[in-house]
Structure 1
Amino acid sequence: MITPYDHNALWLKAKLFLHKAMEDEEVRPFDERALWAALALELLAKSALARQSPLLIATPDTDGTNVLIALGLIGGTARFESVPAKAVFSRCEKAFKPFNKREAEKIAWARNEYLHSASAEFTRIPESAWWPRFWAQAVVLISACDKEIEDLVGYSRTDLVRGYLEQNKKNLEHRAEMLIERARQRRAQYEAGTLQQRVANEWQPGRVLTAGLGHSEPVDCPACGAMGYLEGEDVSGVDTEYQQIAEDDYDVIVTLTVDASYFSCEHCGLVLDDYSLLEPAGLEDTFYTPGDASDVAGYEGEYGND
């Protein structure tokens, strides 16, 4: 019997669904193919997490049954329940960069709307634009499973997927360029006194645009050159240096490596609220910021026994 949290079984099921999703339009309409693809995306995400540990997809319950099943301590007729798609995508975003949970959730929401409402349309996004966005997320999960594109879709369809990925890259570059040019134009209109009142009501120089994430770093704005801020929540690295300040006393200097996910500039109003836009805009996807001793694993500070 195949266990419900087996990552290989989840991968094979995703592969089966993708086969249905990539059939010719004459066989299945786009709405139906998109539905199969959306189901496959969640299975890929679960497979990637379960490959690391089945505990990552086990639903927490009061008596710990799911956790015990995932650990192989309970068998028989015990039923295993996995966490919902929202939790799966959130965990994948943290574990497998640059997976984007918001993009994945949009796909899942469209799937739910299609299944549970009276709507006969999966999405209003044109098929030509939908597939590049889908594959941008799926390819991250394929890599997290230590697989290649051809392992999932076969050699005959690999070039098609790579074409979608290249198109998505160009779409991101165009969007970043558009946002930068709009910010430059907005600043120029403000300085010339020709900024429309409607726009002026939404943005004025100096208005706080930061997201309030846990860490930030000042950097040059790619639109106007003024000081903007990269922000991020997730710390991907901790570097420590010990400096002796007395015979038996040391200072701990901690530097955190933070994954950037947001940029804003008060001077021109540029906001990049998706880390997939940072690189096309010429910004780094990580930055360094000072930490403290509490960020070092195992550090307990002074015991206070003097």
Structure 2
Amino acid sequence: MNAPYDHEALWLKAKLFLNRAMDNDEARSFDEQAMWASLALELLAKAALARASPLLIAVPTEDGMNVLIALGLIGGTARFESVPAKTLYSRCEKAFKPFSKAEAGKISQARNEYLHGVSAGFTLIPEAAWWPRYWAQAVIVVAACDKEIEDLVGDSRATLVRDHLDQNKKNVEHRTEMLLERARQRRAQYDAGTLPARVAGEWQPGQLLTAGLSHSQEEPCPACGRQGVIEGEDVSDVDTQYERIDEDYEVIVTLTVDSEFFSCPHCGLVLDNYQLLEQAGIQPTFEAEGDDSDIPYEGDYGND
């Protein structure tokens, strides 16, 4: 019997569910297909993390039971409990760029509403738009498993998946251009004094639209060229330099931060995910000033 944290077993189960999701049987509705696909995405995320370490999917408890099971120190009939989808997707976003916990979370929320809520439909998003967005996330965790799309769905269906991925790329391009053009138009209307009252009530130049993430830096706006703000939460590198001042040393800490959110107070442009930022030409990382608390703690050495 396979261990519940065995990444290969999780992969095979995801493969089974996705083949059900892509079944051409006319009796299987889109709602049912999407449900199986959403379950498969959670399994793929779990498999990708478990492949790195089973500890990444173990629920921490006071007695450490799940961690001990994941480490192989407890076997037999002990029950292993894995973390929920929300935690899986949060960890995947940090570990497997550019996976989006927000996009994956929408899929899980729609599934939960479909199974436990009063709605009879899986999602308000049309089927033709849902699959491209789904595969944009799934293909990232497939790669994190060191697998190819063909390994998951077979050669005959891989072409369909790539068509969905191409469509998602076009959708991102169109959405990015739409947001940029709308921001340019909004600023032009303001400068000309023709901005509709309703829009003026929602936005005025100088209004902060930031997300309040931990780190930020000025960044030229791809719509109007003025200075906007790029923000991020996750630090991918810490550079520490020491500068001598008289008899003392001053530490200079520079952080490399993953770009997550851009906003411009001058035209109202907001780009709120990695794909939009990339398409708009904003760099995937930026530098921010840190302090002593950002320096990684290396622990104590010696036996005293």
- Asked if Structure 1 and Structure 2 have the same fold, meaning a TM-score greater than 0.5 normalized by the shorter chain, the answer is yes
What is the SS of the residue equivalent to 1:278? helix
Alignment match, 1:257:
256
Answer yes or no: is the 8 Å Cα contact 1:69–1:78 preserved in 2. yes
The aligned amino acid for 1:239 is: D
User: How much does 1:62 deviate?
Assistant: 2.3
The aligned amino acid for 1:102 is: A
Give the unaligned 5+ runs of structure 1. Answer: 301-306
Q: Distance in 2 between matches of 1:59 and 1:69?
A: 11
Answer yes or no: is the 8 Å Cα contact 1:4–1:80 preserved in 2. yes
User: How much does 1:90 deviate?
Assistant: 1.1
User: How much does 1:175 deviate?
Assistant: 0.6
Deviation readout 1:126-159 (Å, 9 max, x if unpaired): 1110000000000110111111111111111111
Q: How many residues align?
A: 299
Alignment match, 2:13:
13
Alignment match, 2:99:
99
User: How much does 1:73 deviate?
Assistant: 1.3
Q: Distance in 1 between matches of 2:41 and 2:298?
A: 40
What is the SS of the residue equivalent to 2:279? coil
Alignment match, 1:288:
287
Asked whether 1:218 is paired with 2:218, we answer yes
Alignment match, 1:304:
none
Q: Distance in 2 between matches of 1:288 and 1:79?
A: 45
User: How much does 1:201 deviate?
Assistant: 0.6
The aligned amino acid for 2:295 is: V
User: How much does 1:27 deviate?
Assistant: 4.9
Alignment match, 2:270:
271
Alignment match, 2:169:
169
TM-score, structure 2 as length reference: 0.94
The aligned amino acid for 1:295 is: D
Answer yes or no: is the 8 Å Cα contact 1:293–1:299 preserved in 2. no
User: How much does 1:291 deviate?
Assistant: 2.0
Decide which moves more: 226-235 or 16-25.
16-25
Q: Distance in 2 between matches of 1:165 and 1:252?
A: 46
C-alpha RMSD of the superposition = 1.6
User: How much does 1:116 deviate?
Assistant: 1.4
Decide which moves more: 42-51 or 116-125.
116-125
Deviation readout 1:194-249 (Å, 9 max, x if unpaired): 11111111001111111111111111111111100100010011223344556x85
User: How much does 1:119 deviate?
Assistant: 2.8
What is the SS of the residue equivalent to 2:266? coil
Deviation readout 1:140-195 (Å, 9 max, x if unpaired): 10111111111111111111111111111111111111111111111111111111
- The 1:224/1:189 distance shift into structure 2, 3 A limit, reads same
What is the SS of the residue equivalent to 1:279? helix
Q: Distance in 2 between matches of 1:282 and 1:64?
A: 45
Q: Distance in 2 between matches of 1:109 and 1:219?
A: 34
Alignment match, 2:73:
73
User: How much does 1:251 deviate?
Assistant: 3.9
Alignment match, 2:302:
none
Q: Distance in 2 between matches of 1:249 and 1:258?
A: 29
The aligned amino acid for 2:22 is: M
Q: Distance in 2 between matches of 1:266 and 1:82?
A: 43
Deviation readout 1:64-105 (Å, 9 max, x if unpaired): 211111111111111111111111111111111111111111
User: How much does 1:56 deviate?
Assistant: 1.1
Map 1:28-39; keep pairs closer than 5 Å.
28-39=28-39
Answer yes or no: is the 8 Å Cα contact 1:252–1:293 preserved in 2. yes
